[in-house]
Chain A
């Protein structure tokens, strides 16, 4: 059974870069899309972006050029970098898996989430 685990600093200073890593265990990264989704009480769930196991990142235009996604299949990890953070980026960050570029099968596996405060 695939499990995802987020890791990274729980506190980031304003204007700096937020960096998180998601480690995949119990399954392959191949043929799946790997997502970052965040949640706040005031904005709810927000899809930030994803990338296929072989690359080809796609991100929410609302984040502009602040977001950077990467994947290291050999380490079974994928990464999120969000630059120039502000208090509005304080959230619970989830890494998650989806099977299809159009999210036909939904987001079927989620990490437990990690809280990041700015």
Chain B
């Protein structure tokens, strides 16, 4: 069981928006702004798409955005495209000085 909780799967149609939640505790997600999101295609390494809750690395589409409320962080992908179909993971710094990951969410684009 992963330290951060994500839904196992989400789906949406092309052009729609979806959200993926990442729930932790006040010792990680709720206590810091150091939440990040990663996109992973099958057999590939994860790719950073959001850091510091709502910042995008250079080159990442502005269709990706993040937010946080309390102990839950949320990744939103707007204008869903077929190439967005992948697994998505959240991470958060924990008060014990370690990096925690969520269990991952499989996004299906219908």
Chain B interface residues (CB < 8 Å from chain A): 2, 32-34, 36, 38, 44-48, 50-52, 57, 89, 91-93, 96-104
Contact B101 A47 (CB under 8 A): yes
Asked if A94 meets B97 with Cβ closer than 8 Å, knowing A44-B104, A105-B51, the reply is: no
Asked if A60 meets B98 with Cβ closer than 8 Å, knowing A45-B89, A106-B91, A107-B36, the reply is: yes
- Contacts of B33 on A, CB cut-off 8 Å? 104
Partner of B34, one of A45, A94, A104: A104
Q: Let me know if A43 is at the binding interface, CB within 8 A.
A: yes
Contact A111 B45 (CB under 8 A): yes
B80 to chain A, nearest CB (A): 23
Select from chain B the residue with minimum beta-carbon distance to A94: B45
Convert A90-118 into 0s and 1s, putting 1 for each residue whose CB lies closer than 8 angstroms to a CB of B.
00001000001011111110111100000
B6 to chain A, nearest CB (A): 9
Q: Let me know if A19 is at the binding interface, CB within 8 A.
A: no
Task: Give complex CA distance A38, B100 in Å.
Answer: 12
- Contacts of B36 on A, CB cut-off 8 Å? 103, 105-107
